[in-house]
Amino acid sequence: MAAILNYMPEISVPQENLKSWGELWLGTVNPQTGKPKNPNCFDRQQSVNFASFIDRAVAESLAKMLGNIPIVAGSPKKLIPSQADCVEMGPARIIGGVRPQNFDVAYRPDGVRIAFDSKTLNDVKSVGKNWQNMVNELATEAATVHTRFPYAIVAFMVVIPTPALGAKQQADLVRTLERMASRRDVLNQTHLAEAISLVVWNPTDGTISNSIPEQGSVLRIERFSEILYPQYVSRYKGLPPHDETGDDEESGI
């Protein structure tokens, strides 16, 4: 039976999760290890684990969009998913045209259709030193997928705590990411991405900024599903495993 496409639910990042991570970010001790840490940053272990709940939110939204298919664990050692029609979460290994790359979430029933990565810059020093390098990584990851799979949708989320982002860096980063989040056609340049969200969050209460980026920007997390879904439909509607489709009237397609 065909997997019925549904409208992609909006990505929901629970405020309580961000608030809990904010307490760790603000704190001076890692409660799991008991080791001291500097305030206003994550230690190495926390930085590695931080975005996993955001990856989960994206995977769940994609799974619902794709017909309520299962979410399975990815593996950096496997070049194909463990099930025929599933969303992979974890290190999904994709061999691209530039280099092999592990993505946080992937959908690849017959090759790569969707590849998603979350990126975090977690303190003032990291933002100042690494934001341009991060942008280069986004472009390379998009290009490595698109050069082999031009119909693939490549999406990113960049997550930064509000106190770590200076005004000049904010303006430069927003402008750069808006330019990069502009791939709407399979003939567009390969280094561009189909969707990018910039999530600027407050460690004190776990809220996501309503003003960075500005309302209406393509980088708003509220628009992530709104941008990604119609691109997937335009490229794969009516093709296996979606021989039938859901209610397009709701989606406006």
**Mean pLDDT value of segment 20-32:** 94
- Using the predicted structure, report yes or no on whether residue 250 has a pLDDT greater than 60: no
Nearest to 57 by CA among 24, 111, 18: 18
Listed by start position, the domains of the chain span 15-248
pLDDT tens for 91-100 read 999 999 999 9
pLDDT band at 28 (very low <50, low <70, confident <90, very high): very high
Residue 245 pLDDT: 45
- Using the predicted structure, report yes or no on whether residue 249 has a pLDDT greater than 50: no
pLDDT tens for 215-235 read 999 999 999 999 999 999 999
Measured between alpha carbons, how far is 173 from 102 in angstroms, rounded to an integer?
A: 24
Residue 177 pLDDT: 98
Residue 4 pLDDT: 85
Measured between alpha carbons, how far is 11 from 116 in angstroms, rounded to an integer?
A: 13
Q: In the chain, what percentage of residues exceed pLDDT 70?
A: 95
Residue 54 pLDDT: 96
**Mean pLDDT value of segment 32-43:** 92
pLDDT tens for 154-209 read 999 999 999 999 999 999 999 999 999 999 999 999 999 999 999 999 999 999 99
Q: In the chain, what percentage of residues exceed pLDDT 90?
A: 88
Residue 1 pLDDT: 59
Residue 3 pLDDT: 76
pLDDT tens for 45-58 read 999 999 999 999 99
Average pLDDT over the chain, rounded to an integer: 93
